Amino acid sequence: MNSFLRITVIGCLLVVIAACQDKRKPNYQYMPNMYEPVGYEAYSEVDILPSNQEAMVPPANTINRGWLPYEFENSPEGKELARLNSSPLDSLAKDANLAAGAEMYTIYCAICHGDKGDGQGTLVKREKILGVPSYDDPARNITVGTAYHVQIYGLNSMGSYASQMNTTEMWQVAEYVMKLKQDLTK
């Protein structure tokens, strides 16, 4: 009888403990700073950081790594000025640049412009995008400078690729576009 009484008392205590538990709130937080992060508002005052500001402005006269300033503006006049611009890439590494440009072209450009630059990419064949001309179109008058300019700013329905590729990669793609143009005009 004594064991039956103990089991009953323990069972009642478990029922009381379980009944007092609130499932909507966590019981205990052993490291509350891990569960409740402190968020900072960008450009707001924060006591622990230099200048009391979280997001700091870059130092004056600095350039991001992997990016070169581009002196031509996004306008028809800027594109015409870019037409005379030549590639700054090393001419001795032309084969390596064309191989890298072909790889980037396949990733970013071939879906619309086609693998050969004939304007017959997958999206054009499926009629998702219309009006992508071939590189050998005499009205286009493509140069390596204008190919780079269009990648920086975009043109018509083509957006800018400046955020997807760095400066060197865009020049490599521009050189590869000129190679495709030569292959089409043969």
Q: In whole angstroms, what is the distance from residue 137 CA to residue 18 CA?
A: 79
pLDDT single digits (tens) 107-166? 998 888 888 888 888 888 888 888 788 888 877 788 898 889 999 998 888 888 888 888
Residue 180: name the closest of 135, 122, 144 by CA: 135
CA–CA distance from 181 to each of 5, 36, 138, 172 (Å)? 94, 58, 10, 14
**Strand, helix or coil for residue 53:** strand
Question: What phi-psi label fits residue 51: left (phi over 0), alpha (psi between -120 and 50 degrees) or beta?
Answer: left
pLDDT single digits (tens) 23-42? 777 666 677 777 777 776 66
Mean pLDDT of 3-30: 78
Q: In whole angstroms, what is the distance from residue 44 CA to residue 41 CA?
A: 5
pLDDT single digits (tens) 84-94? 888 888 888 88
If pLDDT is split at 50, 70 and 90, which confidence band does 183 have?
A: confident
Give the distance, in angstroms, between the CA of residue 182 and the centroid of all CA atoms in the same chain: 30
Tokens standing for 81? 């000025």
Helix (H) or strand (E) holding 4: helix 2-20
pLDDT single digits (tens) 36-71? 777 766 667 777 777 777 677 778 888 877 677 788
Q: In whole angstroms, what is the distance from residue 56 CA to residue 176 CA?
A: 39
